[in-house]
Structure 1
Amino acid sequence: MRHFFEFFHFTATERKGFIVLCLGIALIQVSLFVHKHFRPQEEVSHHLYELQAERASYTKEEVFDDHSAPVFSGEKRVVSYFPFDPNTASLEEWRKLGLSDRKIQVILNYRNKGGKFYEKEDLKKIYSLSENDYRRLEPYIRIRHEEASERRTTGYNPSAPAAKKREALLVEINSADTSQLKRLKGIGTVLSARIVKFREALGGFFSVSQLKEVYGMPQETVDANAPFLTVDTILLRRIPVNEADEMRLSKHPYISRKQAQTIVNYRKQHGPFRSIEDLYEIKSFDPDFLRKIEPYLQF
């Protein structure tokens, strides 16, 4: 101990203080030891309560209302995606698409009162449908041309020259050439050429709203021309996902080189893809990405 004090150059006062501190610490340790081993043990009583099932259960609506992926109490609903017309889809088809009975009833009531969907965006008018629901259903909405044509002619005076001219501008954007596109309001030589170029890269449009993705295309121009545009999805050119190599997949505007590589590698490890559901097994893929590319894949 003397060498310890000399090493740190403790004064006589500092040495006394250090000794008192050590004794205090030792006393505290002894007191804790005595208290732990000699204090009376308290008996802790336990009561078991059974939670009644009816209090713990939730209704289906409470569990998945306003969520894009419906979940029931104790189970998960399998959602199936397929092309559908919101003007004719049955209750069972809406259920397969993942909508709750309450949301479906609102849609059916709207239709029963004479309401119709002329464009995909019209589905947003259903107040009970969330934005997430619309985003996941939008790629699969197919409006019959008769309904779209009815809207385009409704509200226009056939005797007015301007109205007649606008009615003549019904353009199917998957087959129109640049001369037809230039007849639309706000579409000139540059934009019409970009539309055709982007359409060829995509393999065709499945929605009028995709025109907003064309470089330099003002949103207002698309909105103004939307009532005069149609989309024939039969003309879509699809990629054979089980045959295409990384290069071919990555040429699509919606698929990056890394995503194409992931698809090819997963296919090599697990075998051919049977449906879009197999691609959902790739955890690195965002569901929005898969819903966006599904119309362009052939299984």
Structure 2
Amino acid sequence: MNKLKSHFTFTKQQRNGIFLLVLLIVIVQVSYVFIDLPSETVSFNEDVYDTYTKEIDSLRQVEIAMRQPKLFPFNPNYITDYKGAALGMSNEEIDRLLVFRKQDQWINSAKQFQEITKVSDSLLGAISPYFKFPDWVTNPRARNIINESYGNKSKTYAQKLDLNLATVQQLQKVNGVGEVLSDRIVKFRNKFVGGFIADVQLEDVYGLSPEVIERITNHFTVKTPRKVEKINLNSATVTQLVTVQHIDYDLASEIIEMRTLRDGFQSLDELKKVKDFPVNKLEIIKLYLSLEN
């Protein structure tokens, strides 16, 4: 009991210390409640603030504008489902255009585009400045010359012009081949010394649809084919096969593996069974291959 009592027994000095501590706590609490300390004033210029806000908003608008997809000139006759959706066309409007084009008909003006697709005036106003039609559409005189020169009827072999000698101007006379496509055909042909091997190589020219290729071959054909030393498919190495267009190292390895399993190929068409073989390019690949046992 004496031990317990000793913990609560304070000397006079200790009691004075406790009293001063309590007094200080009370003084601090009273000061916090009743004394109004001066606050630091912050100057605010509303005009400067508005100026900064406008600058930030303008920079934000520039950033948003830069993120928007940019439109480049295009021929509306070749609008796909994806392209039409990106332009803001509805599915019905795109379908009307595709049905019209399947009839082998062509849109030759912004007004006709609206008549066929039924797009709104606002959408037409937004996208029509980017419409780019071939020269024979925008230049009536050139159109008359073209119509007189090349019709839609296919010519005989003797009447056709040599595709390896055709000029840009001659190619532009074909319906659907404008300045860009004709220039692209000639540049692609000239990448090879001697030009095209066969008409089928037109399929490798970017932007040529099957319909346009058909029109071209109605009036042009390869009469002076480039000479090619064909590779024997049943003895070719990987190094030899990769020199063929559309065959890379992986595909060459797959071809040789298939050849080993089949104990040689009996037909070039058997290449279709090779894993990841580009079937749509088979006719072009055939131009470089032979088959010998």
State the TM-score bracket (shorter-chain normalisation): 0.3 to 0.5
Instruction: Answer with 1 or 2: which has the greater Rg.
Output: 2
Q: Taking structure 2 as the reference length, what is the TM-score of the superposition?
A: 0.33
Provide TM-score, normalisation by structure 1. Answer: 0.32
